Structure 1
Amino acid sequence: MRLAFTKMHGCGNNYIYFNCFDQTIPEPEALSIRLSEPHFGIGGDGIILISPSDKADAQMRIFNADGSEGKMCGNGIRCVGKYLYDNGMVGERTTVTIDTLSGVKTLELFTENGKMVTARVDMGVAILAPRNIPAAFDGEHVIDAPLVVDEKVYHITCVSMGNPHCVVFTDEKVATLDLARIGPKFEHNPLFPERVNTEFVNVNPDGSLQMRVWERGSGETWACGTGACAVGVAAVLNGHAQKNQDITVHLRGGDLTIRYTDETVFMTGAATTVFEGEIEL
């Protein structure tokens, strides 16, 4: 069996995309583990399936590098929008809808010379109630709450943007953190029954945010769109930023712009096609 694929990334968050309008992908969980491996596979943070939907222009399913299925991927959804537009699957429309396990998301596409360059995604309402994140904390929200991890006290803010996030503002330089050691201790903490994505953040003098992320199921990635949204929301909740204003989040793979309003969270960023190919299974 030969499968056609497209390698794409949003700010370095790179996935292997399969057009499932034209082909069927067998055992996506196992396939994601196999293909994400950089030495014996294609290499990436996982695979994303682009399929027909009866309530949107397309459906997106995300499988992480460990085979687990994710509910939402902010960088991935921009790439899906680019794939649909660049391949003529939505005509010349610059407003498209994508069906995800976190609901239908709307994208505004910005194009040049017939190709999508950037997209603004309506990511939906930020979820703060611990029971809905889920996170095993009491109360209506978790904002700047102390959490002991590996005998050290961190102050965390918990947000769900379709995926659970634990945001840590720190004075330590995030660039030098030993994320491979610290990240799994957050991911597998029993307070997070579905595991958690963890963002470590510095507030820069100009008000922008420097972020590194440990993603459940994938480890450290160069970017996380839902994570950047969670960081923007957490920055407002902790007094580091204002609602209804653009917040620049610097990730290892590039910048995202986040705007937190009373109604929703908007994320704007680029999407890039790396190459297309076929793989024989």
Structure 2
Amino acid sequence: MGRFSKMHGLGNDFVVIDARDGAVEMTEARARAVADRHAGIGCDQLILIGNAPDADVSMQIFNADGSEVEACGNATRCVPLFVGRDVLIRTKAGLLDAKSVDGGASVDMGAPRFDWDAIPLAYPMDTLTMSASWEELPAPAAVNVGNPHVIFFVDHLDGVNFDRLGPLIEHDPLFPARVNVNFAQVVGDDHLRLVVWERGAGLTRACGTGACATAVAAVRRKLVTGPVTVSLPGGDLVIDWAPGGTIRMTGPATHVFDGEADWDRF
């Protein structure tokens, strides 16, 4: 039997497995089975915490469809709560510094990348105002914050068909690694509303890396000044970034319950 914790950040929920004392083999099929909300435990992402030679812990992230991804901001905030102290975390996106704060955590998410081949895009173009769009949406921006994001700034979020446009854009050939799709509305000089269609997970209550990418794109376009409050369906995150620097994300993290499971049954 293996122990796990159920946790969430603004309703973006995780099964967090501690593999520091014993390896847990995680395949795409097993991650998908654990994440299944009817026949498994249920989560948006499965998080595997292990050992790392150059950090306090390592973190592997699997989406609900079983695909492994590089970064997850909401999950990163849960790690110091799970471990019980401030931690340096080794991820596929690099080293992330996570510190506990009252009710959650503050994480240095590293520096954003803007080069077309770092997003990645299929061919060169300006990533601040892309020479591409979909249907009635305006020209987006693209940012990599450990994983790929495309951001559309719209006048009114309520008029966007997320369920139709999200998967259409996620799987567009312009994005060879697929992409997280962010729909944002500026509601103040330092305030954004955001809905995210997450790569491999669909619509989520919150996406930490989406909030980071969207705030960065809004600052670059001079739509807002930081620190930026990003309001998602699940609640608010505060994103602080200045050009040339790293991104600091602060927000809630919640421990729901602990459990045990036989991973061989999944």
TM range (shorter): over 0.9
Code of the aligned partner of 1:246: P
Q: Extract unaligned runs of 5+ from structure 2.
A: none
Q: Pick closer, same or farther for the CA change 1:137–1:169 going to 2, 3 Å.
A: farther
Instruction: Verify the 8 A CA contact 1:74 1:226 in the aligned structure 2.
Output: yes
Please give the root-mean-square deviation of Cα atoms over the aligned residues, in Å.
1.6
Q: Name the structure 1 match of 2:70.
A: 71
1:121 aligns with 2:118: no
Q: Name the structure 2 match of 1:252.
A: 233
Q: 3-state DSSP class of the match of 1:204?
A: strand
Instruction: Verify the 8 A CA contact 2:189 2:223 in the aligned structure 1.
Output: no
Distance 2:173 2:154 in 1: 22
Q: Name the structure 1 match of 2:59.
A: 60
1:166 aligns with 2:150: yes
Q: Name the structure 2 match of 1:11.
A: 10
Code of the aligned partner of 1:233: V
Q: Pick closer, same or farther for the CA change 1:36–1:175 going to 2, 3 Å.
A: farther
Match of 2:187 among 177, 180, 204: 204
Q: Please identify which structure carries the higher strand content.
A: 1
> TM-score if structure 1 supplies the norm length?
0.89
Q: Tell me which moved more, 31-40 or 201-210.
A: 201-210
**1:124-158: CA deviation from partner (whole Å, max 9, x where unpaired):** 1110001111013424x411334232x43431000
Match of 1:265 among 236, 247, 252: 247
Distance 1:144 1:6 in 2: 41
Kindly report which structure 2 residues correspond to 1:165-204, keeping only aligned pairs within 5 A, or say none.
165-172=149-156, 174-175=157-158, 177-204=160-187
Distance 2:160 2:44 in 1: 21
Q: Name the structure 1 match of 2:256.
A: 274
Deviation (angstroms), 1:219: 0.8
> TM-score if structure 2 supplies the norm length?
0.93
**1:206-255: CA deviation from partner (whole Å, max 9, x where unpaired):** 5410000011111111111111000010111111112xx31000011111
Count of residue correspondences? 262
Q: Tell me which moved more, 161-170 or 22-31.
A: 22-31
Distance 1:21 1:10 in 2: 22
Deviation (angstroms), 1:109: 1.7
Distance 1:101 1:181 in 2: 30
Q: Name the structure 2 match of 1:106.
A: 97
Code of the aligned partner of 1:178: N
Distance 1:99 1:222 in 2: 25
Q: 3-state DSSP class of the match of 2:230?
A: strand
Distance 1:279 1:263 in 2: 42
Q: Tell me which moved more, 216-225 or 24-33.
A: 24-33
Q: 3-state DSSP class of the match of 2:138?
A: strand
Deviation (angstroms), 1:43: 1.2
Q: Name the structure 1 match of 2:46.
A: 47
Deviation (angstroms), 1:24: 2.8
1:147 aligns with 2:132: yes
**1:258-280: CA deviation from partner (whole Å, max 9, x where unpaired):** 01122211101111001111123
Distance 2:186 2:137 in 1: 19
Distance 1:101 1:212 in 2: 25
Deviation (angstroms), 1:30: 1.6
Deviation (angstroms), 1:176: 5.2
**% identical equivalent positions:** 41
Q: Extract unaligned runs of 5+ from structure 1.
A: 112-116
